[in-house]
Structure 1
């Protein structure tokens, strides 16, 4: 806005303030703005933070004098760290800074050799300013300091520089920073920040099908899993260090137009169908598949997962099989064809005869109410995280309504959007309330693509929290099909360090890479259509498992705040396009990590890595010891360091660097604001 003084380009601000920006408890939230005025008088700004009722500042707002950027004098910035969930507000106010204007003028004139007589008016004006400033200082001792300076400026006993020195001292500047003298105050608009629990930003996911946990019988035939066998499977997931275990739909599966193995239209009698064909005569979205167990069995599973430190996420797939109770009782929830049949889902050339999509325009009042009731059914049982299937095929205003209504009573509920779609829709869904979002990470494989992707997700951190799944039941990327075992470690290292959120679909640790057909991203014998029991223990014992490496990645993530933040990442120059290098520094603790990855799964690669030392808090000529958190080895490191990585050995270095502190950390925070605005 432009008032007496101009306040423009305030960040974070989403869609001109239509939606709140995103943050989590304990996250450093940078705030910046452009403030300017006419002429040469100094202008400053104040950041005012208002917290929810349970915050430490609930009783009275927090006022922070914003810093002026050293490279752009019109840019001001500051930060705050929310301590509780809820809606926080911030406001940037601009004001004329007569004290800074006076200091600048007096300093320049003294340096130019002007006499006391020439500065007489300046000294009297300064004394008046200090008297005025003193009136706004509540602390008696600090007030006396300013009053004494005013008195000194009016006397003629000391030499000019001696008289002025107290007005320019660090002590005086700190008092004025805490209690500034503000004139021509121009108030900005309040902006909202929705602060969620930390798991909305920092989390590792593992996806498994409960029905595939039953093992095999004496003849080697798969046995349908239960919630009891699923509980036993969670021990391995917890041992790998995952935070959330996600189950595809656990509801009854439709029998009408049921799909067979490999998406066959002609199922065999023992085919189990796709769990995304939700509902049958046995029940709908508020029931569980009878072969898995009962609702009470599921509650027992939730309790066991909690003991292991795991959170259970279930699938929210808003669609129905042809024999779902909704298709019988609420035909107006769907789209009717001219011939009287209900339209099934299509994504040409794909056809989903076993799934009816909802039509939210037919009977929105009842559809909204039914879905809310169903979601709250699972919330009351103890589910706190939902992975939402294809949210971009449902109206955005529906999601805004549903998520906000759920959060009215349960603000800790996390919604992950499975929306592989265009940026406007992906970010739009994040704006209306989704805590996390799937991304196009899976398809970003080159150094250029990965660099652009990582810089984008950092820049969009106020909007969207990206969950970097390395694979899904629907996505077996060509790189995994043809990259050999090394590519699985490479992609895991990238996903686990580029974002505080990452995910793995079961079978990845066994290097599963067979596609159903050439040029397809569908798995052969896809678990979407059949049981897929796996002998993880045998693979681990034979050394044919990525489990230890995944566990190491999750341990590193858990122990290092630098990898638990999204806003700050910097890429360093490596002339070899097969080697990518980036650093992350936590702006709160100063924890610093350098990641160097060989992107070539078939050959050794080497380069001379050139570090931007200022981005890791080091001087250009510094040398230090870098500790590899994967192997435990130490390496001497310099601004230019030779690196060699092998797909048959170390595919990546994840290096702990010296902690960044003091002025170096302040510089990194300031640079992060500029990168973020760029």
Structure 2
């Protein structure tokens, strides 16, 4: 053996002499497993990224599928939409219909929540092609030969059929052959009789009733079944079906610790329970609570985000974890786990679901930090880099290190947090800053949870870049926050909500519009008059099927920023207790209740797809309508100017609104109770922000039937 630092010596190769050049290897010819499958399924829509991610729908909502199907030459093709629950052995099939330009369509309605697959199967339909060709024939000899070919196809179809259908097809094929052969031997001198017989044979061959029977038993031995290039399974494209609340909901956010009736006292779950009738009267169906866990004491923030807390400062609920426990524990000041379960139950009795904030991050004194130090990124000085979401800094929060070698254990533990609260009755989660956690984790975690609990919904709090927001939606989040908070002018609102309702993201991105959050007091709301809060509320509730407000700050029109131009509230609830007098006369709670009642009783406002904007000739006046599947429409006109009266001509498309074919029709203002007679085309509107800055109009009926 050579020394360790010396390379081994290689034997010199022996010299060889070739007397003739080496013949190249003969190319290997590889044929496909089946080359007779001539039908082409070029695309199946909708799909998300080639089938990589699931399309989303809700229970009772049909999914319309379009496929590009064709074959070579002039043969006919047939296609069926195949769908079924993920993992099911058999799939349902729906006949597809051609719509022109080699496009075929069909739809299906999944019966329950869960995960599904769908694809398209197509084949060259020789029976259909034969019927088309026979219909074109005019020469007697051609017709008689074609009839005999049809008889063979009929017999082959009968062999695949069952019961009475087999008998009918066999009898039809036998009769067609017999008459065609007899006509071929007929005396040509009797031309009139021959022509009549040929027409009778042609009529028999093209019998529509027999064609319908034959279509039930196609020859599919050479069918083509579409396989998505990016789908995980050959079974087809993925579809996730959620419950209705994923598509239509009204959220109300409140801090339990600020729910006490007495000023200065720390609120509790029992105080929140006492507040539930107030929330129910305003018509909200989701009550969202910020984190309810123990709050860290190390580096606790003080009032107004002060770096040093003073005695009595309660800290930020998002700085999770202390000696009392972590993500699976309750802040003692809020009550017990039994109190929380009682709150969930009482909310359910009032038709309200409790949504819980899940923030995957830790205070420095969270038990995880000591028990699993490998889950955090440690710096050379022995400290952990605190969390940042520029320009915001969170010195009291440690982020998880998703590149830890112990990532599997971290993933399983984080999923177990969801599992724990699901066991306590929580079915909706608002996830804090999901874009700052690893995307592969979310895809795995949400998919695993929804396979076990398809009713669970996830709202992504991700005010971030558009592509990142859309990626999170593709990974499985049921709803997502939006840029509505910063869309304040007519052009911005029109462009953004047209994108949300008509763009490719419609099939997977469900927007949730919030005019404010504890983190965001938009500058438009700074010291704003009532009309601004009213306008933003109406826009959110009518433009978006899912919307929410952070209260009682919103209904009490809290508009004090921490500093000029800041989006932080002065005396923010994130860092201190607040006492809210919810019975103040100027509260918007009455209007909020009316809006939610309007939304509940008008299906046009339950979705986003059928949204259309109308010209007003005035940039301060925005008009748009939504309609439901039955064609019933709700038209909203809003004055975006909080100071001055604005007017303009709203130019309508009465046919789109379901009022076509008449000169005039009636509209009913759901806010004021007034009735107006409108017409197709221009309609004059004037809105005074000092009174009510909007119309919400139900299109009712013709005034000249």
For residue 436 of structure 1, report the CA deviation from its aligned partner: 1.5
Closer, same or farther: CA 394–141 of 1 in aligned 2, 3 Å: same
- 2:105 pairs with 1:81: no
* Distance in 2 (alpha carbons) for counterparts of 1:101 and 1:92: 20
Structure possessing the higher radius of gyration over alpha carbons: 2
Closer, same or farther: CA 87–350 of 1 in aligned 2, 3 Å: closer
* Distance in 2 (alpha carbons) for counterparts of 1:162 and 1:603: 79
* Distance in 2 (alpha carbons) for counterparts of 1:147 and 1:196: 49
- 2:554 pairs with 1:508: yes
- 2:250 pairs with 1:204: yes
* Distance in 1 (alpha carbons) for counterparts of 2:619 and 2:200: 60
Equivalent in the alignment of 2:275 = 233
SS of residue in 1 equivalent to 2:223: strand
For residue 169 of structure 1, report the CA deviation from its aligned partner: 8.8
Unaligned runs of 5+ in 2: 1-34, 184-193, 228-235
Equivalent in the alignment of 1:663 = none
Equivalent in the alignment of 2:466 = 423
Equivalent in the alignment of 2:411 = 368
1:621-674 superposed Cα distances (whole Å, 9 cap, x missing partner): 564333333333333343214141422344333333469xxxxxxxxxxxxxxx
Equivalent in the alignment of 2:389 = 347
SS of residue in 1 equivalent to 2:507: coil
- 2:641 pairs with 1:596: no
- 2:231 pairs with 1:185: no
Closer, same or farther: CA 447–172 of 1 in aligned 2, 3 Å: farther
Mapping of 1:553-564 within 5 angstroms? 553-564=595-606
1:80-113 superposed Cα distances (whole Å, 9 cap, x missing partner): 1111112111111233355665666677x59xxx
1:193-251 superposed Cα distances (whole Å, 9 cap, x missing partner): 121222222221110000011133xxxx4321111111111111111111110000111
The size of the alignment, in residue pairs, is 639
SS of residue in 2 equivalent to 1:510: coil
CA contact (8 A) 1:212 1:225 kept: yes
1:152-173 superposed Cα distances (whole Å, 9 cap, x missing partner): 8968686998987798898778
Question: Which residue among 53, 57, 60 is the counterpart of 1:26?
Answer: 60
Closer, same or farther: CA 36–240 of 1 in aligned 2, 3 Å: same
SS of residue in 2 equivalent to 1:76: strand
Mean Cα displacement is larger for which, 124-133 or 354-363? Answer: 124-133
For residue 581 of structure 1, report the CA deviation from its aligned partner: 3.1
Closer, same or farther: CA 169–312 of 1 in aligned 2, 3 Å: farther
Question: Which residue among 513, 518, 533 is the counterpart of 1:468?
Answer: 513
- 2:613 pairs with 1:571: yes
Equivalent in the alignment of 1:666 = none
Equivalent in the alignment of 1:443 = 486
* Distance in 1 (alpha carbons) for counterparts of 2:282 and 2:169: 59
* Distance in 2 (alpha carbons) for counterparts of 1:623 and 1:159: 59
CA contact (8 A) 1:97 1:183 kept: no
Closer, same or farther: CA 125–443 of 1 in aligned 2, 3 Å: farther
* Distance in 1 (alpha carbons) for counterparts of 2:557 and 2:209: 62
Equivalent in the alignment of 1:609 = 650
Question: Which residue among 333, 339, 343 is the counterpart of 1:291?
Answer: 333
Equivalent in the alignment of 2:20 = none
Question: Which residue among 19, 40, 58 is the counterpart of 1:6?
Answer: 40
Mapping of 1:63-78 within 5 angstroms? 63-69=93-99, 72-78=100-106
SS of residue in 2 equivalent to 1:236: helix
Mapping of 1:148-187 within 5 angstroms? 185-187=223-225
* Distance in 2 (alpha carbons) for counterparts of 1:642 and 1:636: 9
CA contact (8 A) 1:65 1:177 kept: no
Equivalent in the alignment of 1:662 = none
Equivalent in the alignment of 2:530 = 485
* Distance in 1 (alpha carbons) for counterparts of 2:619 and 2:333: 51
* Distance in 2 (alpha carbons) for counterparts of 1:181 and 1:427: 43
Equivalent in the alignment of 1:453 = 496
CA contact (8 A) 1:133 1:181 kept: yes
TM-score, normalised via structure 2 length? 0.82
Equivalent in the alignment of 1:387 = 430
Unaligned runs of 5+ in 1: 660-678
SS of residue in 1 equivalent to 2:332: coil
Mapping of 1:540-551 within 5 angstroms? 542=585, 544-551=586-593
Equivalent in the alignment of 2:21 = none
Closer, same or farther: CA 5–59 of 1 in aligned 2, 3 Å: closer
For residue 367 of structure 1, report the CA deviation from its aligned partner: 1.9
Question: Which residue among 259, 262, 285 is the counterpart of 1:213?
Answer: 259
Equivalent in the alignment of 2:676 = 635
Equivalent in the alignment of 1:671 = none
* Distance in 2 (alpha carbons) for counterparts of 1:347 and 1:87: 34
* Distance in 2 (alpha carbons) for counterparts of 1:174 and 1:579: 55
TM-score, normalised via structure 1 length? 0.85
SS of residue in 1 equivalent to 2:506: coil
Closer, same or farther: CA 325–66 of 1 in aligned 2, 3 Å: same
Closer, same or farther: CA 136–594 of 1 in aligned 2, 3 Å: farther
* Distance in 2 (alpha carbons) for counterparts of 1:613 and 1:145: 51
For residue 472 of structure 1, report the CA deviation from its aligned partner: 0.6
* Distance in 2 (alpha carbons) for counterparts of 1:591 and 1:258: 53
Closer, same or farther: CA 651–50 of 1 in aligned 2, 3 Å: same
1:481-517 superposed Cα distances (whole Å, 9 cap, x missing partner): 3653222222222222333211111021122222122
For residue 593 of structure 1, report the CA deviation from its aligned partner: 3.0
Mean Cα displacement is larger for which, 81-90 or 576-585? Answer: 576-585
CA contact (8 A) 1:333 1:367 kept: yes
* Distance in 2 (alpha carbons) for counterparts of 1:149 and 1:496: 63
- 2:373 pairs with 1:331: yes
CA contact (8 A) 1:570 1:615 kept: no
SS of residue in 1 equivalent to 2:417: helix
* Distance in 2 (alpha carbons) for counterparts of 1:586 and 1:620: 19
1:512-534 superposed Cα distances (whole Å, 9 cap, x missing partner): 22212222111122111112221
Mean Cα displacement is larger for which, 144-153 or 328-337? Answer: 144-153
* Distance in 2 (alpha carbons) for counterparts of 1:240 and 1:13: 38
* Distance in 2 (alpha carbons) for counterparts of 1:172 and 1:571: 49
* Distance in 1 (alpha carbons) for counterparts of 2:668 and 2:287: 31
CA contact (8 A) 2:143 2:202 kept: no
1:125-172 superposed Cα distances (whole Å, 9 cap, x missing partner): 667666766666658479859976996896868699898779889877
CA contact (8 A) 1:645 1:651 kept: no
Closer, same or farther: CA 179–278 of 1 in aligned 2, 3 Å: same
CA contact (8 A) 2:147 2:201 kept: no
Question: Which residue among 535, 556, 559 is the counterpart of 2:581?
Answer: 535
* Distance in 1 (alpha carbons) for counterparts of 2:589 and 2:207: 59
For residue 440 of structure 1, report the CA deviation from its aligned partner: 1.4
* Distance in 2 (alpha carbons) for counterparts of 1:183 and 1:106: 24
* Distance in 1 (alpha carbons) for counterparts of 2:209 and 2:604: 34
